[in-house]
Structure 1
Amino acid sequence: MKFDTDLPLQHPWIREASPMHLPPPVLLTALQQPRLAGLDALRAVAVLLVIVNHLGLDRIGPVMVFDGSLGVELFFVISGFLITWLLLGEHERHGRIALGAFYQRRVARLLPASLAYLLVGMGLLALRHQPIPWGAVVSTVLYGTNYYQAFTGAAAHYLSHCWSLAVEEQFYLVWPFLLAALLRHGRSPRQALGLSIPLVWLYKAVLIFGFGVGEVYLYRALETRMDQLTAGCLLAVLLKTPRWRRHFEQLARQGWPLPALVAGLVLSTSLLRDTGTVADQQLFGFALETVLLCALLPLVLIKATERGATAALLNAPALVLIGQISYGMYLYHPFVVHPVRNAIVRLGGPPAAGILVAIAALVVVAWASFQWFEQPLREWLRPRSLSSDLSRPPHAGTHRPPTRSAPAAPGRPSPAT
């Protein structure tokens, strides 16, 4: 195993430290795995938070224990981190980012499940003789649901939750081009990302205090939610440097930061975003939670590769499965969770049993979609030229010159959020 000081440099903005005695680079080892241990557990937590929120189970009486929308924030941070990490790794291996292949992978990742959900939903509405929300359908197809809702109101229907998918895709229409341009000119993306986050907060303050913009727009617009995505991107850039990896490894060894971060997230969502004003929610709550989530993610990656109860929990097969099918669970839950729970309750079952059966049914539906519909279509749509090479985990802060004479190692590509 190579230690940080043995690794050559790829990007001029990475500066390698050279201490003589370092502990094993635990985070580097975790980041070099084909699948990042702990990431599926975080995805599982994110989607379960959303479902619990939509079931109205995030309160004890009038008191909000946690805000389930934290799950969407976690999805945004994971997405920004993972996609930036993969793009940086591609640049390290090939000296460039193939943007066409990136967007083909995004289509292969997102289109099968979203198309299935859209068509099944329209079919069910037609069978029930219920009106189809054509405006929402068109905006979903065009990945503009967030602005459609921001300007027309967040009406409740089976496509309401697709606003978050629109935010991500709008962001990825810009960020890969910007990242490729910065790397092509030997510039660090760190400054651009670091500057963009406080600019988003300042922009939101102007909207709130200067123009009285309401929560519906602030919660859904790309320019008011992109700080969580860019924070995840910045985290990926920082973890390319040994100094930042060592900082997180030192935190992980102390034991207390992980539970402290979780407690901070619970307190922020239950206090700042439940009882606070719009400014408290948008300027302080979201900002604090973004920072806490970015600190949490690398600690989870470290803990998931160690031994002990925390690693066993993060690598529990049930959590890993839910994380792998979290996209489908997020999509399908409006059509599964409420009807199944209500049916169990009507049959005389206790509400708790209805909730458990509903979540189990959702897992079955999402797994079936993943295995028999999404995966075959993804394999068919995935770009053949890079699919095998992308299966190799990028080395943190290393340069592997592209090999043109030998075929790429076979394997499964890392999933993008």
Structure 2
Amino acid sequence: MNKWQSLQALRGFAALAVVAFHALAVERKYSGGDLLLPDFFILGQSGVDLFFVISGFVMVSVSTGRFGRSGETARFLWGRLSRIYPTYWFYFFLTLAVLLIKPAWVNSSQGAPVGLLSSFLLLPGDSPLVAVAWSLTHELWFYVVFALLLNFAEKWLLPSLLLWGAVVATANLLLATADLPAGLLIALHPFTLEFIAGALVAVFVTGEYAARFSPAMSIGALVLVAVAGFPLLHRFDLLDGFGLIRAGAVGILYGVLVLSLATLERAGRLVIPRFPSFLGDVSYTIYLSHVLVLSAIGRLWAMTDPAPASLLDNLLVCLLMLAAVVVYGWAGYRFVEAPVLRVAHQLRSRWFDRSR
């Protein structure tokens, strides 16, 4: 299977989780003191970790049968880079316009210099202009390494992934990675282990042993993730920082989640409603645009003189933030992202598929 509807819906969940995390920050900044959103929403930051796990799974599942084929590396990189850059550049220039007009409105909480060239190219370095773009730098690193793996026979994928993970884990145990140059910091970052976790799940799901993981086991694992996994993340602050503990705990948790959903879908036991699939379709646009949308609503909220003695304005603003993020996600996807993807797919067919 190359199209996993369950994981597409999970992408939408990951995007809304990140939105919830940032909505929590907006409420704390602009509400006037009273708070409606629960602290549990802080787990929403792990939506980025979920994106990494899903990405690792998808990279393996769409590449099955393509390892070692001539021209596959170039085809893969075109597909990934055309998926990331053009839509991102739209929000890069949109944020740049805001920066030029109202500098205090852009990344005012980061307290670090913004590198325009590194932001444009998504290179390691200074703080990105688009606040959430730091995760795209990690994604690009994953793609580069995986593109190299495509040059070898598929039988080498599993040992290569295990070796890659061992190198990253060992480096983080033995070295002070925070002191490394920006490029090495990305290459050895623990987030890489989450991508590898997703890739290993895909190797298992597409392999001969997947049938041993029954639908009943999948459902049991989903229940365990819901009733124990997320509460434990919150209880022990396992999302504090970006080290091995976070990558290990969240990588395992979301690896089990992806494994369970993919297994159920492959067994025909899972039907995804249209709305979650829609959220998955627009998840990249939501992810790139939601900080701008939430910030605009937060500043408007502050201008209305929020009532600290009433939660009614909090409720209305929170509903408005959710609606605005989803509605803009649909509009941005339809009029920006989808046309770009159509052109990219047409060019890929013309340049790579026909030549093959």
Q: TM-score, normalised by structure 1?
A: 0.69
The answer on 1:361 being equivalent to 2:324 is yes
CA offset digits 1:305-343 (Å, max 9, x no partner): 7889xx56xx23332211111111111111101322442
Quick one: which of 220, 232, 256 aligns to 1:256? Answer: 220
Match of 1:180 in 2: 151
- Aligned mates of 1:159, 1:385 — CA distance in 2: 28
- Aligned mates of 2:292, 2:37 — CA distance in 1: 26
Change (3 A) 1:237 1:323: same
1:121-160 superposed matches below 5 A = 121-128=95-102, 135-144=114-123, 147-149=124-126, 158-160=129-131
Identity of aligned residues (%): 21
- Aligned mates of 2:167, 2:257 — CA distance in 1: 23
Match of 1:115 in 2: 89
Which structure's CA Rg is the greater one?
1
The answer on 1:43 being equivalent to 2:16 is no
The residue type equivalent to 2:173 in the other structure is: A
Match of 1:227 in 2: 193
| Pairs aligned (count) | 333
The residue type equivalent to 1:98 in the other structure is: E
CA contact (8 A) 1:77 1:293 kept: yes
Which secondary structure does the structure 1 equivalent of 2:325 belong to?
Answer: helix
Change (3 A) 1:296 1:132: closer
CA contact (8 A) 2:158 2:200 kept: yes
Change (3 A) 1:100 1:212: closer
Match of 2:285 in 1: 328
| 1:236, distance to aligned residue in structure 2 (A) | 1.7
CA offset digits 1:211-267 (Å, max 9, x no partner): 4848xx8xx734122111112122222222121343254512xx3221102334313
| 1:122, distance to aligned residue in structure 2 (A) | 1.2
Which secondary structure does the structure 1 equivalent of 2:43 belong to?
Answer: coil
Structure 2 residue runs of 5 or longer lacking an equivalent are 29-34, 108-112, 307-311
- Aligned mates of 2:226, 2:167 — CA distance in 1: 26
CA offset digits 1:116-163 (Å, max 9, x no partner): 10111111222336598984321122222xx324xxxx6xx7522111
Quick one: which of 51, 63, 79 aligns to 1:87? Answer: 63
| 1:286, distance to aligned residue in structure 2 (A) | 2.2
Compare 265-274 and 44-53 and name the one that shifted more. 265-274
Quick one: which of 140, 162, 165 aligns to 1:197? Answer: 165
Quick one: which of 234, 239, 247 aligns to 1:270? Answer: 234
Quick one: which of 200, 205, 209 aligns to 1:243? Answer: 209
Match of 1:7 in 2: none
- Aligned mates of 1:275, 1:81 — CA distance in 2: 22
The residue type equivalent to 2:23 in the other structure is: L
CA offset digits 1:180-221 (Å, max 9, x no partner): 2243xxx331112123324322322223xxx4848xx8xx73
Which secondary structure does the structure 1 equivalent of 2:125 belong to?
Answer: helix
The answer on 1:67 being equivalent to 2:43 is yes
Q: TM-score, normalised by structure 2?
A: 0.79
Match of 1:15 in 2: none
Match of 1:285 in 2: 246
Match of 2:31 in 1: none
- Aligned mates of 1:373, 1:350 — CA distance in 2: 32
1 or 2, which has the higher helix percentage? Answer: 2
The residue type equivalent to 2:220 in the other structure is: W
| 1:369, distance to aligned residue in structure 2 (A) | 1.9
- Aligned mates of 2:347, 2:3 — CA distance in 1: 20
Q: CA RMSD in A?
A: 3.6
Structure 1 residue runs of 5 or longer lacking an equivalent are 1-31, 391-401, 405-417
The residue type equivalent to 2:76 in the other structure is: F
CA contact (8 A) 2:75 2:352 kept: no
CA contact (8 A) 1:248 1:299 kept: no
Change (3 A) 1:65 1:305: same
The residue type equivalent to 1:360 in the other structure is: A
- Aligned mates of 1:222, 1:136 — CA distance in 2: 20
- Aligned mates of 2:133, 2:9 — CA distance in 1: 22
The answer on 1:319 being equivalent to 2:285 is no
The residue type equivalent to 2:249 in the other structure is: L
- Aligned mates of 1:364, 1:67 — CA distance in 2: 24
Moved over 6 A (4+): 57-62, 131-134, 305-308, 387-390
